[in-house]
Chains A and B, each alone.
Chain A
Amino acid sequence: MAKRRAAVRAQALSLLLALPVAQACELPGGSAEKLRSATHTIVYRAAPALRVGEHFALELAVCPATKELRVDAWMPAHRHGMNYRPSITALGGGRFRAEGLLFHMPGRWELVFELRADGKTERVAHAVSVE
């Protein structure tokens, strides 16, 4: 099992410039991916670890805190998304939990985060490869 887990490597490539983060934006406990939009920082972690063909959730922190967040994913090369629409629970203070995601094929996926704040919408995409 451990070997299989090791075989499923999640390689994250930020599609955005790796700019210095202006403020601390963290998720407690362990490593997490950190992304920047023009006005926000998004930190996320998959739980359980990302494995092809298995449901997973995302723990998220958005700074500065927003009240609305959408999460989706698609496979650009295959021109399809997931077969599931994640549900988002706002935990307060910019923390969210997205549940119900499933990558049903190996390859390169793009997680898409949509933030809504002050009447504006921002989208941040993050490429993730699963084997």
Chain B
Amino acid sequence: MRRALVVVLAALAPAALAFTEAQTRAIAAHGPWPPAFAPDPSNRVSGQRDAIELGERLFFERRLSANGTVSCSRCHVPERNWTDGEPRALGLARVDRNTPGLKNARLQRWFGWDGANDSLWAQSIRPLLDAREMGLGAAQVAALVRGDADLSCRYRKVFGAVPEEDEAVLVGVGKALAAFQESLVSGRTPFDELRDALVRGDAAGVSRYPEPAKRGLQIFIGKGRCHVCHLGPAFTNGEFHDTGIPFFIDKGRVDPGRHAGIQKLRASQFNLLGRYNDDLGRATAIGTRHVTLEHRNFGEFRTPSLRNLALTAPYMHNGRLATLRDVVEHYSTISPDRLHADGEAILRPLQLSVQESRDLVAFLETLSDGGGRYERRLLSADCR
């Protein structure tokens, strides 16, 4: 009898659909998830199985570093949601920024905290050449590919031939690494179940979403206005903002963020305006062709995706904030004095109560798929 009453009450409870029409529309905009795969036109091997296999092998290859000890997976640790848990990454030496996770990287418009690259394959080349990360040159990467029978064979299977030009071999390595990373997509989350239930008008489904997270979601799309920058299914607008995080590194060094990122992008022979873009029509280069450099870009960093956020601590471009509670506290108490005087006027202290902060954290935690163990692919038999 008591159980039946509970069922009836649940069925009748309008509170279960405790979102207005406008809120429902805002929530629906964060899905559906996962998005369908679309190959990257700038990378002719995007989505190809052999390229993904080669890319995975290269990703875990320690010989792709100057001293033979650092692979991509040193900082992008699969079991840590493809990041490392460090405030600032450690390759051959300590670098200036936090390691971003790799899941859903293929959905980005710009890559790196400063957006210095406009494709996943160009971004994959960057750490290979950085003296503090893997410390190689194009010649050394090409020599490894040419000198290893299995790598060389797999490279030929993917690209048809190993080019004579070292830099072209390097680009192929970047494109294979990108093909592998494109396959890393985060799974469904409690938020996605809520979102789809709301779209279906499924009150029972909505009621299964925890109440604190529901209140936190209302803050996210309401007084917090978090969704102004963290928008869409990936919870990011893909652009750059000054969020009041100090950009001093150490010993008087500063991180100019997007300001230097745009200049690096323009100077890079690997950008989408260059000869290595496989999209001959250059439609993929529209952002690179039109991006502007402004003074306000100094100290701006890319808006990160919030998917699997709970698995990627610490936070912000320099890992300065240890926990999600710290992040919420930052936005709750942010001082406008710490933002660019000539920059955008978006952020203001949210002045959240203790309960509101907890609720917002509870919501953010529902954006994670729980992580899980990564199983490497079994490579097809010896390449011939």
Question: Which A residues fall within an 8 A CB radius of B?
Answer: 3-4, 7, 52-53, 55, 75, 77-80, 82-87, 99-100, 102, 104-107, 131
Contact = CB atoms under 8 A, between A and B. Distances in A.
A82 B240 CA distance: 11
A33 to B, nearest CB: 22
Interface in B176-203: 199
B229 interface: yes
Contacts of B137: none
B237 interface: yes
In this complex, the interface size class of chain B, counting residues with CB under 8 Å from chain A, is: 20 to 34
Interface of B: 25-26, 28-29, 199, 227-229, 231-232, 237-240, 286-287, 289-292, 296, 343-346
A38 B4 CA distance: 71
A7 B29 contact: yes
Given A3-B28, A7-B25, A53-B232, A99 B286 contact: yes
Contacts of A75: 344
A9 B199 CA distance: 18
A85 B292 contact: yes
Given A87-B289, A87-B290, A131-B26, 14 more contacts: A7-B28, A7-B29, A52-B237, A55-B287, A79-B344, A80-B344, A80-B345, A83-B292, A84-B292, A85-B292, A100-B289, A104-B239, A105-B228, A105-B237
The majority secondary structure among interface residues of chain A is loop
Given A7-B28, A83-B239, A83-B292, A102 B287 contact: yes
Given A3-B28, A79-B345, A84-B292, A55 B232 contact: no
Nearest to A56: B286
A111 to B, nearest CB: 16
Nearest to A103: B237
A101 B366 CA distance: 34
Contacts of B289: 87, 100
A53 B25 contact: no
